[in-house]
Amino acid sequence: MANVILYFLGAQQDYDFYFKQVTAVMARSLGIYINRVVFPTAPGINSFGIIAGAGAVVSTIFLISQKKMFLRLSGFFGLLSSIFVMILTDSRGALVYGLIVVLLSLFPYQAITRYLRWSGTVSPLFPFAVMTVLGIIPTSISNTFSRPTANPLSNSIISGRLFIWDVVLDYFRTFNLSHFTGLGYRGQAAVDISSRYSSLFKFAYAPEFAGAHNQIFQTLIETGYSGILLVLIAITITLYRLSREEHDIAGKTMFFVLIYFIFAGITESVLTLESFESTLIFLMIWLSVSVKPQENLIERTEICDIVPISN
C-alpha cells in the first residue's frame, strides 16, 4: 500500500526497467490505455506484481476471517491496493493465481489442505502440464491475454514462456556436472541460456539476465538437481505443518500464501534467488513453522511429566 500512496504522490524511480514502452494489457481491456508501471520502490515490474498477488490473498483472508470492523477495512483497502498494483503492472498471472487461491481458501480448511499440501511435491509437473494444454487449445484463445513479445519471430503464447522453457530444457538435455550443482545466481547468463531468448526482453533494463520465468526451471539453473530436491522437501514439510493449523488464522494465511507462490511459480521465477522478495517471505514462513513447537509433542511431554512410565 505504501507504494500505491507514493505513486499517487508522484514519486518515481530514477529509471524504468521497461522504458515505458510495454502496454498494460489488463488496463487496456478496461479501456485504460497506459503502459506498464514501475512503482516507486519496486525492484521490478513482474516481481512486484507477484507480491501484490500475495497481498491480495492475505487481504482477502483477513477480510473474511476478522470480525472487528477496523481489521476488515484494513483487509478491504489492502485488497483494493493489491488489485490496483496488479492492473498497472499488468500482472495477469498474479491476478489469476490469486483469484484461484482465494476461491480455494473458501473450502473447509482440513478438506482442501489434504490435497493442496502436496502442491510443492508435484510442482515440477506444472510447466509440462501447461505446455500440454497450450498445445491442445487453439492459439487464438491462448493469445487472448498474451502480451506481444519484442521478438516477432518467437512464440508469443503466454508472452513467450514456451519459447523460454524450451531453451532451458534444451540446456538440461545433455547432462553435465553443473546440472547437479547449479550455476548460482543468474546462472542463465553464465552459460548463455538467457542470451537465446533475451530478444524477448529488448525493452528490459538487462535482457541478458532474464530468468526462466518458472520456479522449477530457475531453481534448477541456480542450484541444480540437488538444490531443487532440498527446496521441494522444505516446501512440502512447511505446507504439511501449516495444514494442521486449522484454527490459527496466521497459519492458515501462511499456508495459502505459499500455495499462491507455488501456483505463481508456473509462469514466474518465484521462490528463487532471482526473486528475493518471495524467497524472503517463504524463509520467514519456513522459520516460523520450524521454531513453532508442535502441539502433539507438547501434549505428549505433559502426559509423560504426569504419568510415570513403568519399565
Mean pLDDT of 155-167: 81
Q: What angle do CA 248, 63, 40 make, to 5 degrees?
A: 105
How far, in Å, CA of 112 to CA of 17, rounded?
Answer: 39
β-bridge partners, 35: 23
Query: Of 64, 71, 34, which Cα lies nearest the Cα of 253?
Result: 64
pLDDT of 278 over the 90 cut: yes
β-bridge partners, 23: 35
How far, in Å, CA of 158 to CA of 177, rounded?
Answer: 32
Residue 217 pLDDT: 97
Instruction: Count the Cβ atoms, other than its own, within 10 Å of residue 267.
Output: 25
C-alpha cell, 241: 505443518
Mean pLDDT of 165-170: 95
Residue 141 pLDDT: 62
Residue 145 pLDDT: 55
pLDDT of 303 over the 70 cut: no
Mean pLDDT (the chain) is: 85
Query: Of 153, 120, 100, 130, which Cα lies nearest the Cα of 242?
Result: 120
Lowest mean pLDDT among 33-42, 75-84, 151-160, 250-259: 151-160
Q: Are 90 and 27 in contact (CB under 8 A)?
A: yes
How far, in Å, CA of 117 to CA of 246, rounded?
Answer: 13
How far, in Å, CA of 221 to CA of 276, rounded?
Answer: 15
Q: Are 34 and 24 in contact (CB under 8 A)?
A: yes
Residue 260 pLDDT: 98
Q: Are 291 and 235 in contact (CB under 8 A)?
A: no
Phi-psi map region of 241: left, alpha, beta (phi>0 left; psi -120 to 50 alpha): alpha
The dihedrals phi and psi of 60, each to the nearest 5 degrees, come to -65, -45
Which CB contacts under 8 angstroms, 24+ apart, belong to 109-116?
109/246, 109/252, 110/243, 110/246, 113/239, 113/242, 113/243, 113/255, 114/243, 116/239, 116/243, 116/255, 116/259
Residue 36 pLDDT: 85
Residue 100 pLDDT: 97
pLDDT of 23 over the 70 cut: yes
The band of 226, judged by pLDDT with boundaries at 50, 70 and 90, is very high
pLDDT of 70 over the 70 cut: yes
Residue 11 pLDDT: 81
Domain ranges for the chain, please list them.
1-106, 109-311
Choose between 232 and 12: higher pLDDT.
232
